Amino acid sequence: MVKKKVYLSTLAPSFWQQSNRYSVSCSRHLSSSKNTLLDLAFSRGSQHETVYHRNAVPPDVIVDTRAFLKCRPEYASMSLDLTQRPHHMKWEEAYLLLRKVTILKGSMKPSDVSQYLTELSHLHPDRMPLLRSDQRFIVLLRYAVEHLRLFTTLQLLEVLRSFVLLHIPSSHTILWHFEAELSSRVDQMDLHQLLLAADLWRCIGRQVPQFLNHLYHSVSLYVKAMGVPELVHLLYIMGEGRKCPRDLIHPIEQLLMLNLHQLHPEEVGAVCLGLFKSQTSISEGAVTQMVDKAHSFVDEMSDFAMVNVLKYLRFSYLYHRAWLEAMAREVPLRAHSMGAKGLMHVALACSALHCRNDKVLTAIAERLPSLVPHCRSKDSCKLLWAFGTLGFLPAQSPSFYPSLTEALRQRKVEFQQYPEHLLTGLLGLAFVTQFPEDLIALALSPEFVSLALKSTQMELKKDLFTLDGAVALELPQWTGPRLSRELRQKVEEMLWKFALSDVCQKAEVQEAESALKDLLGGEEFVCKRMILPHTRSIDLEVHLDSSGQPIPVNPHCDKATQGWGRIDVGITITDELLAQLTNTKNTTELLTPSPVVKPPLVHRKEPGGSLFDTGLVLTSDITEALIRPSSRSAPKDAKGTVKFAIQVSSRNHYCYHSKQLLGLHAMKRRQLKLAGYRVVELSHQEWFPMLRKSRTEKLAYLHCKIYNSL
């Protein structure tokens, strides 16, 4: 089989994570997230997913990928059931047929050629190589080409069906002639014949874009007359052809919604797979209804169909709570009988949807070590990525990371053709502080870097840069290869240029920067930059001295330090300001110190409310801190400057409904501390509501966040 590459997701669904594609399917693209993420890991620019040699890895679990064809008898007229082979012909019978070819020679009719090929296709598969090498069979194929235009459409399809059973190689030149002939007859074929021809090409394993384009054009005439089997099979064909024409998306969605209630479990799985492989975005409501249908009979679905639903959720970035809750039950029950590919796709969907469920991850982690011999490098690396992204620590399953890391070593040769997989796996490991030095040395070696940079379909510079930066910080003893300074500078400039045009323009970042400048006394005290460029996101850097006074940090600011001789902290606290903050005219009671001075805290409402619903609530402790900030004990450990990295985070930096940071952000937080920074997070739960509040409330909030961190 010819190796080909398929990558994920070129159309952008308008769902909850649309602009935060923090997933293996899109990370090698300079797209933005909600706030500071500058994507990591797989390209979205291509439309095909890697297909490997079928014999490269022994199968672990046999999966019937065409099980939906058994749901209805109508499929028989538009597909070939590969599980139902005809009665086997003996070699002696085949020999007699081949003699007739020699005898008839040029007097053979089209019906003879069609009949002989059909009968010979009944030969036992073990004898097929002998038949294909027989000179008389080669002559019969030549006659098939000579009679090509004389075949009826039915005969043409019968010959194509015989090619499937005869195991004619997909690269055989005779197939080019048949594709051209079938394409020229599209207008003479009905819908079932068109779908049958497309299905036979799929069974042969040959890509026929010319024929499929003609098919899609003709199908538009039949859409309104299509029933469930025609629709499902068309979506299957589109998936295998990796394309759905834009003008067919809306009619197909309408037809799908009209017939959704009639779909069987395996048909829902086939529809999801077809939409996923063809990268077809339908509306959020349509996806939700389809997954609702899948959820209604999830216990009846095969593992394959269930995984296909997860694939399309991953593509759509739709968080379907009921379905994912069902997966928390189903996956632990099924994992022991699932194969490596299926488990990889389950984990990948969880990571793309930011859905961490330890029952699911543990079940996969316990099953995988026994499947290592069946894991392609692609499977191992994407599993490492998914588990690292979700922050699944090595201690939670001691054998998981070592076994998959060893699998990478066993399949190092595959990285010569697919360098992106090695980088994916190593980044996933780095997220959870795993650094296999031999594989890192390979990935950063001049030879491998040169190979990766030659990739025309994937942008791997950023992945190399991220790995290199992580090694520099977390392996101080590292003496192995590193990226050249020129390459690092080139990638850093590229990332910063994009950040300036994207994340730096976000309102929440600009407001935080502006308010910090007001709070600290000027723009020279706040520097918006990529402190750790390899983590692909920006921070607001602030420096304080050991007494809590700000120190200029922005080297591009020429303005003299101002304002700090007048006050201890960048804003002056007056009775009028306190009156503004508390909505009162008399602040005497508020100025009364508390018996026990606690660190100033922003008041949190009871569960069910949201932060700052009715404005900032100033306790006496906060008031005292605002009035006399110098009374707080600043660090006096003789370390000098305290460096802050102030981060404006979003919900997409975390696992869904969780305080677990996603892999890249967890790694960045860890490495900022290694680099000597204190991280102050302006979380989306707190900062986004503050954007609607007054300037004084924002300043008070930022004051508390920074000085509580001292």
Q: Three-state secondary structure along 51-67?
A: ECCCCCCCCCCCCCCCH
Query: Is 42 a residue whose pLDDT tops 80?
Result: no
Q: What is the pLDDT of residue 555?
A: 60
Give the CA dihedral 363, 364, 366, 367, nearest 10 degrees. 110
Query: Span 29-55, mean pLDDT?
Result: 38
Lowest mean pLDDT across 19-23, 77-81, 108-112: 19-23
Choice between 624 and 59, residue whose per-residue pLDDT is larger: 59
Q: What is the pLDDT of residue 57?
A: 66
Q: Which residues of 69-84 are buried (b: 16+ CB within 10 A; e: fewer)?
A: bebbebbeebbbeeee
CA 72, CA 312: separation in Å to the nearest integer?
A: 24
Longest dimension (CA), the chain: 116
For residue 641, the 8-state DSSP code is P
As beta bridge partners, residue 615 has: 613
Instruction: Quote the tokens at residue 238.
Output: 């589109």
Phi, psi of 32 (to 5 degrees): -100, 160
CA 345, CA 361: separation in Å to the nearest integer?
A: 12
Phi, psi of 215 (to 5 degrees): -60, -50
Burial-class residue 170 by CB neighbours within 10 Å (0-12, 13-18, 19+): middle
Q: What is the pLDDT of residue 456?
A: 72
Amino acid at 34: K
Q: Among 3, 77, 82, 51, which residue's Cα sits nearest to residue 378?
A: 51
pLDDT one-digit tens code per residue, 493-533: 999 999 999 999 999 999 999 999 999 999 999 999 999 99
Reduced to 3 states (helix: H, G, I; strand: E, B; else coil), residue 266 is helix
- Interhelix angle 209-219/191-204, rounded to 10 degrees, is 160
Neighbours of 129 (CB within 10 A): 9
State how far the alpha carbon of 297 is from the alpha carbons of 293, 308, 317, 418, in Å.
Answer: 7, 14, 22, 38
CA 54, CA 3: separation in Å to the nearest integer?
A: 10
pLDDT band with cut points at 50, 70 and 90 for residue 28: low
Give the CA dihedral 386, 391, 395, 400, nearest 10 degrees. 0
| Angle, CA of 168, 170 and 173, to the nearest 5° | 85
Instruction: Quote the tokens at residue 292.
Output: 């609702």
CA 592, CA 626: separation in Å to the nearest integer?
A: 13
Q: What is the mean pLDDT of the chain?
A: 83
Q: What is the pLDDT of residue 572?
A: 47
Q: Among 625, 615, 629, 631, which residue's Cα sits nearest to residue 696?
A: 615
Q: What is the pLDDT of residue 675?
A: 95
| Mode of pairing for the β-strands spanning 539-544 and 677-682 | unpaired
Percent of residues, the chain, with pLDDT higher than 90: 72
Instruction: Quote the tokens at residue 66.
Output: 């065409």
As beta bridge partners, residue 459 has: none
pLDDT band with cut points at 50, 70 and 90 for residue 38: very low
Q: Are 521 and 562 in contact (CB under 8 A)?
A: yes
Query: Span 272-283, mean pLDDT?
Result: 97
Reduced to 3 states (helix: H, G, I; strand: E, B; else coil), residue 306 is helix
pLDDT band with cut points at 50, 70 and 90 for residue 223: confident
Q: Among 154, 153, 155, 75, which residue's Cα sits nearest to residue 117?
A: 155
CA 84, CA 201: separation in Å to the nearest integer?
A: 18
State how far the alpha carbon of 575 is from the alpha carbons of 582, 586, 615, 621, in Å.
Answer: 10, 8, 18, 16
pLDDT band with cut points at 50, 70 and 90 for residue 458: confident
Query: Is 1 a residue whose pLDDT tops 60?
Result: no
CA 660, CA 391: separation in Å to the nearest integer?
A: 7
| Mode of pairing for the β-strands spanning 642-648 and 539-544 | antiparallel
Q: Among 21, 13, 12, which residue's Cα sits nearest to residue 348?
A: 21
Domain positions in the chain = 503-707
Query: Span 543-562, mean pLDDT?
Result: 71
Query: Span 556-580, mean pLDDT?
Result: 41
Amino acid at 211: F
pLDDT one-digit tens code per residue, 157-208: 999 999 999 999 999 999 999 999 999 999 999 999 999 999 999 999 999 9
CA 401, CA 501: separation in Å to the nearest integer?
A: 38
Sign of the alpha-carbon torsion through 18, 23, 25, 28: positive
State how far the alpha carbon of 103 is from the alpha carbons of 99, 106, 117, 411, 626, in Å.
Answer: 6, 9, 16, 53, 105
Q: What is the CA radius of gyration of the chain?
A: 32
Reduced to 3 states (helix: H, G, I; strand: E, B; else coil), residue 534 is helix
Phi, psi of 595 (to 5 degrees): -60, -40
pLDDT one-digit tens code per residue, 585-621: 333 333 333 333 333 333 333 333 333 333 444 444 4
Q: Are 100 and 140 in contact (CB under 8 A)?
A: no
